[in-house]
Amino acid sequence: MSKLLRQHFEDREIKKGSGQVSAFIALSLGILATLAALCFLFPNLLTTPDFRPLYNANILRGLLFASVIIGFVSGVISLLRNPSKRWGMAGMLLNAFAALLASGQIEPNYYDRSMYAGLDYFILTLLISALVFIPMERFYAKYKAQKLLRSGWVTDIKYFMFSHLGIQLLSFFTIIPAQILFNQWLNPTWHQMVSGQPLVLQFIEILIIVDFFSYWIHRSMHKVPSLWRIHAVHHSSHHMDWLAASRVHVFELIVNRFVGYIPLLFMGFSPAATYAYLVFISFHAIFIHANVRFRFPYFRWVLATPEFHHWHHSSEKEAWDKNFAAFLPIYDVIFKTAHLPDHLPKKYGTTANTKIPEGFVAQLVYPLQNKQRKNN
Ligand SMILES: [Zn+2]
Ligand SMILES: [Zn+2]
């Protein structure tokens, strides 16, 4: 997203009725449609080989053109309503460009698996997340007044793009090949016994094992000052919603994905169970950040709910260094860091002692700058 667009939108909530919402729809659909059209043009380079057999090109092309029409019409509406014509115009042009790109489709060759960018993975996760979590936050909002495009959303979209096009994708497609490799070196009897279990059972075992390690990685990130500077970026958001889940520093993504999963490699689970776990946990991570008021009275001590993780993000003193578990609060109970009072938290973010700059690049370099005192 351009610097101009950031200056225009960042740290400002978008107002209804001024042509800004339609400009946003036009531009977002225009960007997504352009990326999707590029996937049609260069499927071997940009799409994920494992996903290709699942696609129906005709249905996807129909959806793409429907999205282009909605995006173009939104651009026209913005042009009519917004005194500043440039965003509506940019949205219209972007959608027209996507239509032009998509119409020049080359017959795909699905056999080449040499190199790909997984652009389709980014587009699909963004669409699925938006379709599930935006209506959920609308109907069950904890903070009803909180806008979809609250302050800092541009920064978080950049995180979303960065992690889905980079690290997350990389981890998906390195953990499983690494696991297959490790499985060959394991004791065959042990490997057969573990991977021969029902998938559900393996899935639960992976949850229990990975969660134990991620509990301690997360707790260390709060306790070791140099690690806290990396992890504090995740805590810098003052609003909790589905998009805030993406705000994770690249160093932390690497540590979580590659150190947290090492124990898995020695266990001998089947790749299908690991795959199911990775997909599940990435959507669960979005869910626990969502701006929803669910309390789950019976499950709140069994599984990590939005309430549980919202307390972890609270800047209220009683909640400091609490609720580290990603999925199983039992680890916080065992290691005495659980905090689930009767009410929901009110304030989020880091305290005045940890001042995190705004913006993606500033946050990227923040842990490398001069050390400050750790607090919360
Ligand atoms: Zn934390
Ligand atoms: Zn979080």
Average pLDDT over residues 59-75: 84
In the block, residue with structure tokens 């380079």? 45
Q: How far is the CA of 261 from the centre of ligand 2 (A)?
A: 19
Alpha carbons within 13 angstroms on the beta-carbon side of residue 187 total: 5
Q: Are residues 219 and 108 in the same domain?
A: no
Dihedral-angle region of residue 253 (phi above 0 means left; psi in -120 to 50 means alpha; beta otherwise): alpha
Together in a domain, 88 and 188: no
Does 149 map to a domain?
no
Q: How far is the CA of 175 from the centre of ligand 2 (A)?
A: 23
Same-domain check for residues 68 and 213: no
Domain assignment present for residue 333? The answer is yes
Residue 3: predicted pLDDT: 53
Query: Would residue 207 count as lying in a domain?
Result: yes
Place of tokens 């977002």: 28
CA of 185 to the centre of ligand 1 (A): 35
Question: Residues 208, 110: one domain?
Answer: no
pLDDT tens, position by position, 160-176:
888 777 655 666 666 76
Residue 107 parent element (H or E): none
Domain co-membership, 254 together with 363: yes
pLDDT at 315 over 60: yes
Using CA atoms, how far apart are residues 253 and 172, in angstroms rounded to an integer? Answer: 12
Tell me whether residue 253 is in a domain: yes
Please check the confidence at residue 20 and state whether its pLDDT lies above 90.
Answer: no
Residues 14 and 83 in one domain: yes
pLDDT bracket for residue 375 (50, 70, 90):
very low
| Residue ranges making up the domain that contains 50 | 1-117
DSSP string, 237-273: -SS-SGGGGG---HHHHHIIIIITTHHHHTTT--HHH
Question: Given pLDDT bands bounded at 50, 70 and 90, which one contains residue 89?
Answer: confident
Residue matched to tokens 């500043």: 84
343 and 199 part of one domain: yes
One domain, residues 97 and 189: no
The alpha carbon of 26 and the centre of ligand 1 are apart by a number of angstroms equal to 35
Q: What H or E segment, with its residue span, contains residue 79?
A: helix 57-81
Q: CA dist 152 to 10, 134, 357, Å?
A: 6, 17, 11
Distance in Å, CA 179 to ligand 2 centroid: 27
Q: Among all ligands shown, which has an atom nearest to the Cα of 230?
A: 1
- Looking at 77, 93, 117, the residue that finishes a domain is 117
Last residue of a domain, one of 117, 142, 177: 117
- d(CA 3, CA 15) in angstroms, rounded, equals 20
Residue 159 located in a structural domain: no
Torsional sign, CA 277, 279, 283, 286: positive
What separation in Å is there between the alpha carbon of 34 and the centre of ligand 1?
Answer: 36
Ligand nearest to the CA of 252: 1
Rounded CA-CA distance 65/63 in Å is 6
Q: Is residue 42 part of a domain?
A: yes
336 and 277 inside one domain = yes
Kindly state whether residues 217 and 286 are assigned to the same domain.
yes
Q: Please tell me the distance between residue 197's alpha carbon and the centre of ligand 2 in angstroms.
A: 32
| Residue 160 in domain | no
136: phi then psi, degrees, rounded to nearest 5: -60, -45
- Could you tell me the pLDDT band of residue 185, with boundaries at 50, 70 and 90? confident
pLDDT, position 373: 46
Under 8 Å between Cβ of 272 and 180: no
Would you say residue 123 lies in a domain?
no
Q: How many Å lie between the centroid of ligand 2 and the Cα of residue 286?
A: 9
Same domain, residue pair 197 and 339? yes
Smallest CA-to-CA distance from 331 within 308, 363, 361, 352 is with 308
Residue at which a domain ends, from 78, 97, 117: 117
Residue 260 phi, psi (nearest 5): -60, -30
Ligand 1 center from residue 234 Cα (angstroms) = 7
196 and 87 fall within a common domain = no
Number of domains present in the structure of the chain: 2
Helix orientation angle between 199-223 and 225-235, rounded to the nearest 10 degrees: 110
Ligand found nearest the CA of 319: 1
Q: Give me ligand 2 centre to Cα 25, in Å.
A: 27
The mean per-residue pLDDT over the stretch 100-107 comes to 65
